[in-house]
């Protein structure tokens, strides 16, 4: 039986836990022997979207390109795990419409919690004025209005967040 493809789009502040949940979910998918691919925002920026800046237009283009690759993989039966801040609601909705099989996961943690987890020192640099247009500091983040899954990483264990995503994928028929 052919696997049904889907894009699972993890969105949230830097430091919210998108990559952590994605990596833990990937281990579960390996155990289930399903075909999947990870498109991490940081890695995509180093390769596929190198040269794009952080203006609204460049951020939208970055998300469109990730969405394009996700669409190709999804339509070919791959489960795609996208981990990208993707701060603007309209572009996430545009990508959702193009892909079709799309599950939005809002990785929700308060800004103060994300700043406390800031292993790269990005928030500190943004607060010092060294980084301009940083999401949550001097650029907005528009949270999803109706995500299929919300993971409150400040209130729940990693295993709970992963279970929420797996349960939703099973409920929607993407996993058995």
User: The whole model's pTM is what?
Assistant: 0.93
What mean pLDDT is predicted for residues 144-157? 97
Q: What percent of the chain has pLDDT over 70?
A: 99
Q: What pLDDT digit, counting tens, does each position of 41-95 carry?
A: 878 777 776 777 777 888 888 899 999 999 999 999 999 999 999 999 999 999 9
pLDDT of 59 reads 85
For residue 74, the tally of other CB atoms under 10 A from its CB is 23
Catalytic residue annotation: 86
Rounded distance, CA 86 to CA 39, Å? 13
CB 92 within 8 A of CB 133: no
Alpha-carbon span 82 to 137, nearest angstrom: 23
Can you tell me which residue has the tokens 């070919």? 76
User: Which are the contacts of 25, defined by CB distance < 8 A and separation ≥ 6?
Assistant: 8, 81, 162, 165, 166
Task: Give 3-12 pLDDT, tens digit per residue.
Answer: 899 999 999 9
C-alpha to C-alpha distance for 90 and 172, rounded to whole angstroms: 24
Please give the CATH number for the structural domain made up of 6-110+142-171. Answer: 3.40.50.300
Please state, in angstroms and rounded to a whole number, the distance separating the CA atoms of residues 41 and 96: 17
Determine if residue 100 is left, alpha or beta; phi over 0 gives left, psi from -120 to 50 gives alpha, anything else beta. Answer: left
User: To the nearest whole number, what is the mean pLDDT of the chain?
Assistant: 93
């Amino acid at each position: 039986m052919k696997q049904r493809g889907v894009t699972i789009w993890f969105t949230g502040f830097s430091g919210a836990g998108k990559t952590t949940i994605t990596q833990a979910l990937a281990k579960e998918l390996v155990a289930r022997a399903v075909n999947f691919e990870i498109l991490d925002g940081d890695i995509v920026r180093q390769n596929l979207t190198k040269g794009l800046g952080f203006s609204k237009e460049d951020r939208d283009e970055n998300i469109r390109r990730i969405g394009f690759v996700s669409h190709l993989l999804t339509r070919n039966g791959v489960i795609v795990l996208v981990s990208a801040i993707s701060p603007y609601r309209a572009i996430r909705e545009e990508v959702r419409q193009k892909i079709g099989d799309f599950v939005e996961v809002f990785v929700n943690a308060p800004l103060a919690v994300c700043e406390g987890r800031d292993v790269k020192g990005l928030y500190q640099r943004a607060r010092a004025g060294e980084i301009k247009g940083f999401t949550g500091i001097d650029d907005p983040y528009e949270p999803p209005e109706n995500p299929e899954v919300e993971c409150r990483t400040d209130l729940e264990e990693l295993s709970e967040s992963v279970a929420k995503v797996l349960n939703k994928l099973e409920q929607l028929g993407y996993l058995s």
